[in-house]
Amino acid sequence: MDKEKKIVSSACEVCPQYNPNGLKKLGVSAENTDFVVALAGNPNTGKSTVFNALTGLRQHTGNWPGKTVTRAEGAFQYNDQKYKLVDLPGTYSLLSTSEDEEVARNFILFGKPDVTVIVADAGRLERNLNLVLQILEITNKAVLCLNLMDEAKRNHVEVNTRALAKRLGIPVVPTSARFNKGIPELIDVIRQVANGEIVCQPHRIKNVPKTIDEAVKKLSEEIKKQFPGVPNSRWIAFRLLEGDERVMEALRTQEF
């Protein structure tokens, strides 16, 4: 009994759904996949490390913001389903126009990933939430990977992950990707979101001034009328009010 306790390091490992042997790292062979998973997040939160842990690839990782400036792709298989994983450039926001932010935003918006995994630094959550909240305006299917838990712990930062998940309306998985901790749990949550077993109800930005809120509502109603399928009419409205040419063009060419 005692021995068993030592081996099991988290409750998830005794759950019947947990199946670490179902994972096959497929490297770069990303053809005929069932799902597309995007990996977004602030720079230097360990996105590339999570990417490597999932795909078995050895993309170079570095300890400085801006290491990944292009999109990297890989794949993994879990329980007979194949997932293509796209590592997006790390960005602090999706509101400006630098090339790396455009790449990240356009993929989440137009690439329509089945799941967007947002990697955040557990020790610097407040700063990271800026991007998280923006992504949650764009997509309904997201998972927060709360990475660098080991570092946060060392710096005496404690995150109540259950409360956070409730507040954000998406699953939150604590990880230390450098040491492969939490990765099996992350994979299983990705599977559940991709297959619709977990339905997210993402947080939408509150605290918006009343005048703006009214304008956004009006515009977003109009967008919903023309594009009944879009999950992010409110975000499109935000962008239109900001005069985003790329989003206008996307409306004209029916990219949504």
Residue closer to other proteins, measured from CB, 99 or 197: 99
CB of 121 to other proteins, least distance (A): 9
Contact with other proteins (CB under 8 A) among 95, 112, 169, 246: 95
Task: In whole angstroms, give the CA distance from residue 47 to residue 117.
Answer: 10
Task: In whole angstroms, give the CA distance from residue 18 to residue 15.
Answer: 5
Task: In whole angstroms, give the CA distance from residue 91 to residue 40.
Answer: 8
| Site map (CB under 8 A) of other proteins, residues 2-41, x = contact | ----------------------------------------
Strand partners, 38: 86, 116
Buried b / exposed e over 174-206, threshold 16 CB at 10 Å, is bbbbbeebbbbbbbbbbbbbbeeebebebbeee
Q: In what order do the strands lie in the sheet with 172-174?
A: 23-27, 72-78, 81-87, 35-41, 115-121, 142-147, 172-174
CB of 177 to other proteins, least distance (A): 12
Residue closer to other proteins, measured from CB, 17 or 155: 155
The piece of 23-31, 77-85, 181-189, 216-224 that touches other proteins (CB under 8 A) is 216-224
Q: State the angle between helix axes of 99-110 and 125-138 in degrees (0 to 180), rounded to the nearest 10.
A: 50
For the chain, the C-alpha Rg in angstroms (whole number) is 19
Q: Is residue 230 a contact residue for other proteins (CB under 8 A)?
A: no
| Site map (CB under 8 A) of other proteins, residues 125-164, x = contact | xx--xx--xx----------------x--xxxxxxxx-xx
CB of 251 to other proteins, least distance (A): 5
Which spans of this chain sit near other proteins (rule: CB under 8 A)? 43-44, 58-66, 69-70, 89, 92, 95-101, 125-126, 129-130, 133-134, 151, 154-161, 163-164, 167-168, 178, 203, 205-209, 211-212, 215, 218-219, 222-223, 226, 237-238, 240-243, 248, 251-252, 254
